Amino acid sequence: MTGVRRSSTHFGSTQVPLSKSIMNRLPAIGPALVVVAALGLAGCSQEKVEVKDIVRPVKVVEIAKANDTRELSYSGSVRARTEMNLGFRINGKITERLVDIGQRVKPGDVLARIDPADYDLSVNSAEASLEAAERQVETTGLARRRAEQLFAKNFASKSQLEQATLSYDQAVATRNSARSALDQAKNQVLYTDLKADRNGIVTSVAADIGQVVGSGTPVVTVAVDGEKEVLIAVPEMDIAQFKPGKNVKASFWSDDALTLDGKVREVAGSADQQSRTFAVRVSLPNDPRVLLGMTANIEASAANSSPQSVSIPLSALAQKDGQQIVWTVDRNGETVHARPIKVAEFTADGVHVAEGLSPGDVVVAAGTQFMAENLKVKLTGDAVQQSASADDDGDAVKRVR
């Protein structure tokens, strides 16, 4: 063609266009270029890649020595040592109630009254009987003196004198009986008023106006001023730990700063029929801050009767080859190791371990699924001793890096 000239190169005696030559050689040149590039990169950098061990953060608890004693805590209410359930000494219908709950009373104060009408009639009847008895004494007395005079003049026999004397003595006895009956009737009139005989405060009212009560039926309860105590209910499993004279601590919900030394004063001899608990009374020292009805907490210590298991968080429990294990941390080697354990029971605060753990053991508390034998860890200063006894909770955990 005119005006067009193709470029070419000479390889021996053959002329090949330049573009076609390059296209034919690319498949053979490509692998060689890759090899040359790789060798060039290796020559430029002689650094080695270092593989670092992964130190996995975990949480641990340290097993502490189980306490030789355990703490007992029971709630109760403050009561007066002496509480009087006051009632009338006679039967009757209540016509007045003169006190309310919370009111202070002193000796002689009238608390309630019953209708005295029938007892006033009894007084009138007793007075009439006494009057008749008095007249009978006078009559028999005259008869006896007459018999004595006639006997002295030999106008009457000795038997007549003895009969007159016997009648007089009988009349005197009847008069004395009538006099006692009158005193009793007057006392019953006085008993229509229910009175307080000691200083105290009314804590309850069991009867009201219009109610007919029998003798001895509680009408008003008065808490006597003086020593106060706390009444608690103790189950049979712990009642052996409470003996009269045992020292305890008393704290009060209304005042966290108020703590008093108490002493067990009385332990019930039998359990309550409904609650099956024993009533225990703890005497308190006199303190004006302690008021009747306040809620108190009684704390006492008791010796452990059997070896106490340790408690670990549920997250610390793992399984390996069908056996329950925990992962313990070796402080020196900073590695973890599987240790078989014997579980006593599962509770709300974790797992109680009967065998396999000793005081001082550090147990992985979380992340057990990532643990492996001899896995490297690093303990820091945060891994302080934490109790994992049965009295502790799941918060006793520290981080290991």
Question: Using one digit for the tens of pLDDT, what is the confidence trace for 380-396?
Answer: 544 434 444 444 444 43
Looking at residue 335, its pLDDT comes to 87
Q: What is the mean pLDDT of residues 125-143?
A: 95
Compute the CA torsion angle 197, 202, 206, 208 (nearest 10 deg). 90
Looking at residue 250, its pLDDT comes to 95
Of 96-100, 291-295, 330-334, 339-343, give the range with the top mean pLDDT: 96-100
Judge whether residue 69 has pLDDT over 80.
Answer: no
Integer Cα distance of 367 and 304 in angstroms: 34
Q: How confident is the model at residue 26 (pLDDT cuts 50, 70, 90)?
A: very low
Q: How confident is the model at residue 68 (pLDDT cuts 50, 70, 90)?
A: low
Looking at residue 20, its pLDDT comes to 44
Of 106-115, 233-242, 305-314, give the range with the top mean pLDDT: 106-115
Looking at residue 205, its pLDDT comes to 95
Judge whether residue 306 has pLDDT over 90.
Answer: no
Looking at residue 312, its pLDDT comes to 84
For the chain, domains (ranges, CATH) are: 75-79+226-303 (2.40.30.170), 87-115+192-223 (2.40.50.100), 116-191 (1.10.287.470), 308-379 (2.40.420.20)
Judge whether residue 282 has pLDDT over 50.
Answer: yes
What confidence tens digit (pLDDT) does each residue in 228-255 have?
999 999 999 889 999 999 999 999 998 8
Looking at residue 305, its pLDDT comes to 55
Stronger pLDDT, 334 or 170, i.e. the higher one: 170
Phi-psi region of 3 (alpha: psi -120 to 50; beta: other; left: phi over 0): left
Q: How confident is the model at residue 174 (pLDDT cuts 50, 70, 90)?
A: very high
Judge whether residue 397 has pLDDT over 50.
Answer: no
- Phi, psi torsion values for 10, nearest 5 degrees: -105, 120
Q: How confident is the model at residue 187 (pLDDT cuts 50, 70, 90)?
A: very high
* Residue from 345, 322, 323, 326 nearest 337 by CA: 326
Judge whether residue 40 has pLDDT over 50.
Answer: no
Q: What is the mean pLDDT of residues 209-219?
A: 94
* Cβ partners under 8 Å of residue 30, min gap 6: none
Q: What is the 3-state secondary structure (H, E, C) of 8-63?
A: EEEECCEEEEHHHHHHHHHHHHHHHHHHHHHHHHHHHCCCCCCCCCCCCCEEEEEC
Looking at residue 365, its pLDDT comes to 84
The token duo for 129 is 């009987």
